[in-house]
A and B are shown apart, each in its own frame.
Chain A
């Protein structure tokens, strides 16, 4: 009897109510003011913030804006500030917040679109152009011929850095980026490291210096490791920024 009662209690706890407070603002509508809106909803097993937001949107407030695509931590669209920490909504379970209170903000440093939605795409595109994020080779690649072989270790190192999903979390967690708008951030420095170790790319260190050899590039990084500690893909940002710094400082 007692066991059964306990069981009932624990079931009730499992389906607790959670409060999600969302930063609401539409910068394109001059009649709106920035405000916080709290939604109370029932937590379901395995609920992620993405699922919670979809629930809010579909059952409570169809006007709330947030970004998502893949739901699986691959597209990098649903990054937002969760109780102060920039994270992916789809990879964050509501159950980890013991008091059931969660505050969601849009990522700082990016152009705010509305509510939790920010424009990371245009920034990432500009960054890619700034660090010339493509293979630079003198010879034109013959796509009908078999590719030149690459050492498996080297290929693996390149693939590792290619896992970046451009979610913008490294920038939202970076003190330099928050102060200096033009800083390329860990995402940009990781990108240069990716091409610097790729044998297909013929750029010299001097060429990379022209791209990141200033305070908007690698010398702007103060090694506060916000990027390293918040990257949802666990990219080796600490070591790769140090790697580029050591290269660039020799110029």
Chain B
């Protein structure tokens, strides 16, 4: 038997004192909050993984720092596992909350798509990017996060490159990269509008400004991400004969 309050809400749509549930307010805030946390994460994540652009040694050093090497001799990959687990939990929670907004039947989808094609309105079209990339990431993001959780020791100039090139993870990373950058860009723009963060004295002008800044950042991140992915592929290609060998600083 469910709790009495739930039963009252089931039967009346309100709680036992006749008030509406506050859960929708919490869900709305949590959707934004989880999205914001994931945005910050991805903003740093892409920059960090781009350390490969500065060479294998730079990427290796950064990996070791994340493994806590300054404090733990040789580094502890479990730190990465724990981080990936934490992000995975927030990621799942965010997907669950955001899914509520997806068109959930043929009728809704048909009406939404036809209207948006008619309307040719850029912010409405951006939402299609957001739900499409969100859907893609439910799968690809899960694969990536699960791999990081279970094989945290396989992060490094050669280990990552072998995974990307020889283990053919690059198509997944390519789609995931484009999806995550677009989704984050659109999502952050949406947060700014939704909560009126930078309304200032001229909200309309500031909305345009926010959009332009975010567009520029999205382009920078796409270029950065694609260049790093290309670099990992090149390293993986050159390293295929020695697949499985790990980078060590002696290589320098």
* Contact partners of B252 in chain A: CB under 8 A: none
| A180 nearest in chain B by CB position | B108
Taking a contact as CB atoms under 8 Å apart, the answer to whether B22 and A213 are in contact is: yes
CA distance A85 to B207 in the complex (A): 21
Taking a contact as CB atoms under 8 Å apart, the answer to whether A213 and B24 are in contact is: yes
Question: Is the CB of B237 closer than 8 A to any CB of chain A?
Answer: no
CA distance A213 to B21 in the complex (A): 8
Interface of B is mostly: helix
Question: Is the CB of B143 closer than 8 A to any CB of chain A?
Answer: no
Q: Interface stretch among B52-60, B148-156, B168-176, B187-195?
A: B187-195
Question: Is the CB of B212 closer than 8 A to any CB of chain A?
Answer: no
Whole-angstrom distance from the CB of A226 to the nearest CB of chain B? 5
Q: How many residues of A contact B (CB 8 A)?
A: 37
* Contact partners of A178 in chain B: CB under 8 A: 111-112, 115
Taking a contact as CB atoms under 8 Å apart, the answer to whether A175 and B25 are in contact is: no
Taking a contact as CB atoms under 8 Å apart, the answer to whether B103 and A179 are in contact is: yes
1/0 per residue A184-225: CB within 8 Å of B? 000000000000000000000000011001110001011111
Whole-angstrom distance from the CB of B247 to the nearest CB of chain A? 45
CA distance A141 to B29 in the complex (A): 39
Whole-angstrom distance from the CB of A219 to the nearest CB of chain B? 4
Taking a contact as CB atoms under 8 Å apart, the answer to whether B195 and A214 are in contact is: no
Question: Is the CB of B209 closer than 8 A to any CB of chain A?
Answer: no
Q: Interface stretch among B35-43, B73-81, B121-129, B157-165?
A: B121-129
* Contact partners of B82 in chain A: CB under 8 A: none
Taking a contact as CB atoms under 8 Å apart, the answer to whether A225 and B119 are in contact is: no
Determine which of B20, B27, B117, B193 lies in contact with A225 in the assembled complex, contact meaning CB atoms within 8 Å.
B193
Whole-angstrom distance from the CB of A83 to the nearest CB of chain B? 9
Whole-angstrom distance from the CB of B113 to the nearest CB of chain A? 10
Cross-chain pair count, CB within 8 angstroms? 98
Taking a contact as CB atoms under 8 Å apart, the answer to whether B118 and A84 are in contact is: yes
Whole-angstrom distance from the CB of A156 to the nearest CB of chain B? 15
Taking a contact as CB atoms under 8 Å apart, the answer to whether A223 and B194 are in contact is: yes
Question: Is the CB of A136 closer than 8 A to any CB of chain B?
Answer: no
CA distance A105 to B117 in the complex (A): 14
- Given the interface pairs A175-B112, A213-B22, A215-B24, the reply to whether A239 lies near B194 with Cβ below 8 Å is no
CA distance A84 to B112 in the complex (A): 13
1/0 per residue B89-125: CB within 8 Å of A? 0000000000011010000100110011111110110
Determine which of B25, B108, B111, B203 lies in contact with A251 in the assembled complex, contact meaning CB atoms within 8 Å.
B25
Taking a contact as CB atoms under 8 Å apart, the answer to whether A239 and B112 are in contact is: no
* Contact partners of A105 in chain B: CB under 8 A: 118
Taking a contact as CB atoms under 8 Å apart, the answer to whether A242 and B119 are in contact is: no
Taking a contact as CB atoms under 8 Å apart, the answer to whether B127 and A224 are in contact is: yes
Taking a contact as CB atoms under 8 Å apart, the answer to whether B119 and A85 are in contact is: yes
Taking a contact as CB atoms under 8 Å apart, the answer to whether A222 and B127 are in contact is: yes
Determine which of B27, B101, B115, B121 lies in contact with A222 in the assembled complex, contact meaning CB atoms within 8 Å.
B101
CA distance A237 to B115 in the complex (A): 20
Question: Is the CB of A81 closer than 8 A to any CB of chain B?
Answer: yes
Taking a contact as CB atoms under 8 Å apart, the answer to whether A242 and B195 are in contact is: yes
Taking a contact as CB atoms under 8 Å apart, the answer to whether B127 and A246 are in contact is: no
Whole-angstrom distance from the CB of A174 to the nearest CB of chain B? 9
Taking a contact as CB atoms under 8 Å apart, the answer to whether B123 and A224 are in contact is: yes
- Given the interface pairs A178-B115, A242-B193, A242-B196, the reply to whether A226 lies near B124 with Cβ below 8 Å is yes
Taking a contact as CB atoms under 8 Å apart, the answer to whether A229 and B121 are in contact is: yes
Question: Is the CB of A167 closer than 8 A to any CB of chain B?
Answer: no
* Contact partners of B19 in chain A: CB under 8 A: 210
* Contact partners of B101 in chain A: CB under 8 A: 222
Residues of B within 8 A of A (CB): 19-22, 24-25, 27-29, 100-101, 103, 108, 111-112, 115-121, 123-124, 126-127, 190, 193-196, 199, 203-204, 207
A222-B190, A226-B121 are known; give 11 further A-B pairs, CB within 8 A: A209-B22, A213-B25, A224-B121, A224-B123, A225-B124, A238-B204, A242-B194, A245-B28, A246-B195, A246-B196, A251-B22
